[in-house]
Structure 1
Amino acid sequence: MSTALNTQIQRIEPPFWFSGMHNPLLQILFYGTNIAQCQITIENSNAINNVKRTENPNFIFVTINTQKISTSEIDFIFKRKDKSTFIQKYELRKRRKDSALRKSFDSSDTIYLLMPDRFANGNKNNQNDQNTIEKYNRELPGGRHGGDIEGIIQNLDYLQSLGITTIWNTPLCEDNETEFSYHGYAQSDVYQIDSRFGTNEDYVRLANEIHNRDMKLVMDYVTNHWGLAHWMVHDAPTKDWIHQFDNYTQTNHKRSTISDINASKIDRTVCLHGWFVPTMPDLNISNPLVFNYLCQNAIWWIEYANLDGFRVDTYNYSEPEYISKWTKAITDEYPNFNLVGEITMRNQGLLSYWQKDSSIGKIQNFNSHLPSVMDFALSDALQNVFNEDDDTWDQGITKVYDILSKDFLFPNINNLLIFAENHDTKRFNHIYNNDFRKYKMAMSMLATLRGIPQLYYGSEIGMAGDQNLGDADIRKDFPGGWENDENNAFHPESRSECQNAYFDFTSKLFHWRKTNDAVHFGKTTHYIPENNVYIYFRYNSTKTVMVIINNHPENQEIYTYRFKENIENYKTAKEVITDLVFDLSQPIFIEGKSALILELE
């Protein structure tokens, strides 16, 4: 019998794996013309657990038990009906030491969200590729502008100087759509970094550079859908790999149907199985092959790139039973790994349903296993309250008080992601016409409220954008990220006076935040707002921080006797931005539309 190394397999996914994983079973996808006709064995091993063929003869799924493999390289022997054989080698790599126990992001961190295509162009040689359809066109607002991984690496010092500890970038995997591919959410190959951003090796290098600065990297992961250009959409392993209807059906976005005991079956089905948009086919995560594929792809990236966390896009658009199992599969491998899900819901009861160990979820015998969710309720409030000068029953800063009054709904309130804006919302500085006072109020709250603060790229230099003009306007290029930009905001000497004011305030605030564990993991006591002034305390056994938010346009005097239960025996307080010292036995003066953050002494 003659054998030869394989030249007949076009794809293998995962491309390699790791020994010593918690789950020893590995499902390997082999793709090639009529590959399913082959019989498969492993040389000198009985490690094959299962061989799965589908209606598509170009696929074969082989599940092996890696515990039964003692070598770093596996020889798969493929034998065809005509008795010819070929060998496909497969690598099992060694894991990093203590990989399973990696520390993830938490409420001691500050996350910076950036869109790589719009942040900085560090490598002009990768702007176009013969295999990618959409070409570089910075003149087109929704086109490819050329930002890349190298641009992020070159500006890590800038992010560190801002006080950032964690970077979340929108997806970097290949998105080969004909237009609007810059955002990366319609992926065409989930094992390959888009060549216009760089290479897989560049992504690993980014993670290493970030870790060298004691910072963390969060991957934006998409479980719900791929793009129309994905190679498996063109040649699907099974007919039900993606959800399909007789006619194109878009999700109704009514995710309340998932927990609604009165919801009709058709409404729930359209919500979960309908496509997000026509260019994003909806993945059928309840198909066991799809489920295993997504689990392994996520774990592969964590292990390969040494990641510190996931932000999971459109989390609750997937079947709840299976997305929760997907999440648990990851946290079983990495018990300390944090995942924050995009749950775009403003009702805090519905939002809390999706956090791990939710008492509301338990009513329906459901546990998402999802450690963190995004606090859209707070985000919505921050995008409105600073224009509301009158504090009525449900207007003004009382909105924020009312949101925190429902914190009891969440099993882990410190693990909420809090933000004033992101890449899908209105730009904060546009909403408030670049009123610097209101920016400072919002950032002061993000830095001191419970949860994990997330900033959106460019706001720290006053960037704005009108969502009514389209997504591209809230996703503009960062000034200075391109060689010939007239304004380079990455460097203080080339920023405008206004840009430096924004940056300097933000930097000082979030550098201070890194030093105060009372705002990381401490308790909260807040007081009913009076005259549009909201006062709350963050404290632990050794530190107390008093925050005063004056949302009234007029100056105020705050008498401290009302807050004696938190002030206790403290005599003075130092304001963290101005370094002014206040006598707590005297009224505290605060200007209109401003904030004070006081460390009690």
Structure 2
Amino acid sequence: MKKVIILLFFISTSVFAQIDRVEPPFWYAGMHNPELQIMFYGKNIAQNEVSVSNSIVIKDVKKTENSNYLFVTIDTKSVTAQDFVFSFSKDKKVNFTRKYSLKQRRENSASRKGYDASDLIYLIMSDRFANGNSKNDSDKSVTEKGNRALPGGRHGGDIAGMIQHLDYIKELGATALWPTPLCEDNDKAYSYHTYGQSDVYKIDPRFGTNEEYVQLSSELHKRDMKLIMDYVTNHWGAEHWMVKDLPSQDWLHQFPEFTQTNYRMTTQFDTNASQIDAKKCMDGWFVKSMPDLNQSNSLVNTYLKQNAIWWIEYANLDGFRVDTYSYCDKKGIAEWTKAVTDEYPNFNIVGEVWMHSQAQMAYWQKDSKIAAIENYNSNLPSVMDFTLNDAFAKVFNEDKDSWNGGMINVYENFTNDFLYPNINNILTFVENHDTNRFNEIYQKDFSKYKMAMTLLATVRGIPQIYYGSEIAMAGNKDKEGDAAIRQDFPGGWEGDKNNAFTKAGRTPEQQQFFDFSAQLFNWRKSNDAVHFGKTKHYIPENNVYVYFRYTDSKSVMVVINNSKEAKTFSTNRFQESILNYKIGNEVLTGKSIDLKNDITIEGKSVLILELK
């Protein structure tokens, strides 16, 4: 009897121990690309031969130098949603089996509409927004525990907290939510930012569960809002389970000794650049704790493509923001982007291309004529307008106009719009989770905040705001580090004395900032002239910048006076934009302005006129 029990135990444990992971964990029927690469991971699994039931066709089986991996590619063309079974055999004897599922896609999944210029994106630092479930602040499966007293520690913000405050975000006028990455990051310290991920199929347990992430998406959609995933293609974290047992040495970019990227993204297109500099930019590691993924390895790139598509289907996503986009292998990242947009032609992806030249940023947008010179196309729908962000960080302290000072800096940014293939599909922002806080730079000057947000709300592109700007949150990154620009939102934690999520809990200053922001951004929701209209602007005079956003049937005139003194100007200069309009209804005050008369605008103030 003992021998039988021991034998059964041996068989049972060998079966379950043989496969530790299957990724993707399941897939969907009816995808544009019918080929599916399934990674099976387990001790010496590559010693087995693999077959599959239900007449599923295996197109390829790849074994790597690590016998713990098998990459099996099947053809799902014309295969309906169903379960089937993989069998793993050795010496013609089945050792173990594994069920796999093809699930039914949501109706019209392929034609889902991504975020666009009609949206306002609300960016939050996921760990610092709101703690909706204090029970998950620490988890035994991950190393770093919750410690709100530590500026760079885990503070407990989570998905539950986001869900609980979606109505606040909607009240502000935002229509899309971008949380910083939510997948597991098992770094021993500083893991709260989650850009060094250790499992890209699993939500970090300190944020919640995969199911809660799906719930977040569902709750947003109930409110006609969208969910954007912060996706990382360039690197994983050093604690990623695959990094600890690499399928192959070329899964990562490897060097004889640690080699950091030179961060010189210009080497990606500089015709004079040396190969060694370009390689160091693309292949060098961002930091020691973030191993650099080799997107030129077809197994790696397919893994990343499928992971991205899986999340879109599983969580019903509306878009991606891709971290450090221009540090990736150029060809590999273009293939990744095309694979995603081939599956979802109306899906939007914005890449972080942190450069300070419009030509250099425009190079990375899909169908760039600049990149076409070298026969390159990134396939990336959207890039971030970092040059406008540069202007935001200084221009409102430039009270006097000059040849290259004051509002001319903003004007000149837009003179280069011709460089972008799709100017309406670039992301504009005053600040984000990596930049200095606007309200720190300008010392919570409400007038300057109004000018910046008015500009953001009315120029071309997709506006993005950073959590807490709307309640005057500040913080000095230069003196106190990243934690200063990623502070906890007041009221997001039980026991907070100041609850800025509610009108009753806000200070007078917080209420002043919030009321203006909500009025401005809710107005923007319904004005298609500032969504997709054309732009006509006029060279700033006396530090006063005037521009129009217009369609065939609607026109908005924006006036920004960056001088400290009131300015009066004639409207005759703008007749080619004013046309036959007679009255300008001021959005913020409700006053009517006769467009035949001179207009006076107070110092450091704005006018938003809907022309009638």
TM-score by length of 1: 0.99
Partner of residue 107 from structure 2, selected from 97, 100, 113: 97
Per-residue deviation, residues 96-142 of structure 1 (Å, max 9, x unmatched): 00000001100000000001100000001111111111100000000
AA matched with 1:374: M
Displacement of 1:71 after TM fit?
Answer: 5.5
The answer as to 2:135 corresponding to 1:121 is: no
AA matched with 1:477: D
Per-residue deviation, residues 44-87 of structure 1 (Å, max 9, x unmatched): 42510000000000000000001264461110011124834211
Aligned residue number for residue 361 of structure 1: 371
Partner of residue 441 from structure 1, selected from 445, 451, 465: 451
Aligned residue number for residue 22 of structure 1: 32
Structure 1 residues 7 and 72, CA gap change in structure 2 (3 angstroms): farther
Give distance in 1, aligned partners of 2:116 and 2:276: 38
List structure 1 runs of 4+ shifted beyond 3 angstroms. 1-7, 68-71
Give distance in 2, aligned partners of 1:281 and 1:396: 42
Aligned residue number for residue 176 of structure 1: 186
Displacement of 1:588 after TM fit?
Answer: 1.1
AA matched with 1:557: T
Aligned residue number for residue 539 of structure 1: 550
Per-residue deviation, residues 518-564 of structure 1 (Å, max 9, x unmatched): 00000000000001110000000111000001001101112101000
Displacement of 1:459 after TM fit?
Answer: 0.5
Partner of residue 226 from structure 1, selected from 215, 236, 243: 236
Displacement of 1:589 after TM fit?
Answer: 1.3
Give distance in 2, aligned partners of 1:139 and 1:71: 49
The answer as to 2:604 corresponding to 1:590 is: no
Give distance in 1, aligned partners of 2:371 and 2:139: 47
SS in 1 for 2:153: coil
Partner of residue 278 from structure 2, selected from 255, 268, 274: 268
Give distance in 2, aligned partners of 1:4 and 1:55: 22
Give distance in 2, aligned partners of 1:71 and 1:441: 53
Say whether the 8 Å CA contact 1:46–1:68 is kept in structure 2.
no
Per-residue deviation, residues 170-227 of structure 1 (Å, max 9, x unmatched): 0000000011100110000000000000000000000000000000000000000000
The answer as to 2:150 corresponding to 1:148 is: no
Give distance in 1, aligned partners of 2:181 and 2:134: 20
Say whether the 8 Å CA contact 2:35–2:75 is kept in structure 1.
yes
Displacement of 1:580 after TM fit?
Answer: 1.2
The answer as to 2:229 corresponding to 1:245 is: no
AA matched with 1:473: A
SS in 1 for 2:291: coil
AA matched with 1:377: T
Per-residue deviation, residues 402-438 of structure 1 (Å, max 9, x unmatched): 0100100001000010001000001000000110000
Aligned residue number for residue 385 of structure 2: 375
Give distance in 2, aligned partners of 1:5 and 1:213: 46
AA matched with 1:447: A
1:564-579 aligned at under 5 Å gives the runs: 564-579=575-590
Per-residue deviation, residues 420-466 of structure 1 (Å, max 9, x unmatched): 10000010000001100000000000000000000000000000010
SS in 2 for 1:493: coil
Say whether the 8 Å CA contact 1:25–1:66 is kept in structure 2.
yes
SS in 1 for 2:504: helix
Displacement of 1:144 after TM fit?
Answer: 0.1
1:208-219 aligned at under 5 Å gives the runs: 208-219=218-229
The answer as to 2:563 corresponding to 1:552 is: yes
Aligned residue number for residue 470 of structure 2: 460
Give distance in 2, aligned partners of 1:134 and 1:277: 19
The answer as to 2:197 corresponding to 1:187 is: yes
Aligned residue number for residue 4 of structure 2: none
Per-residue deviation, residues 252-303 of structure 1 (Å, max 9, x unmatched): 0000000001101110010000000110000000000000000000000000
AA matched with 1:58: N
Give distance in 2, aligned partners of 1:3 and 1:31: 16
SS in 2 for 1:554: coil
Say whether the 8 Å CA contact 1:45–1:68 is kept in structure 2.
no
Aligned residue number for residue 422 of structure 1: 432
Give distance in 2, aligned partners of 1:410 and 1:132: 43
Out of 333-342 and 5-14, give the one that drifted further: 5-14
TM-score by length of 2: 0.97
AA matched with 2:287: V
SS in 1 for 2:196: coil
Gaps of 5+ in 2: 1-10
SS in 1 for 2:77: helix
Say whether the 8 Å CA contact 2:81–2:104 is kept in structure 1.
no
Aligned residue number for residue 592 of structure 2: 581
Aligned length: 601
Per-residue deviation, residues 477-501 of structure 1 (Å, max 9, x unmatched): 0000001100000000110000000
SS in 2 for 1:240: helix
1:134-145 aligned at under 5 Å gives the runs: 134-145=144-155
Aligned residue number for residue 512 of structure 2: 501
AA matched with 1:343: V
Identity among equivalent pairs (%): 61
AA matched with 1:467: K
Displacement of 1:391 after TM fit?
Answer: 1.2
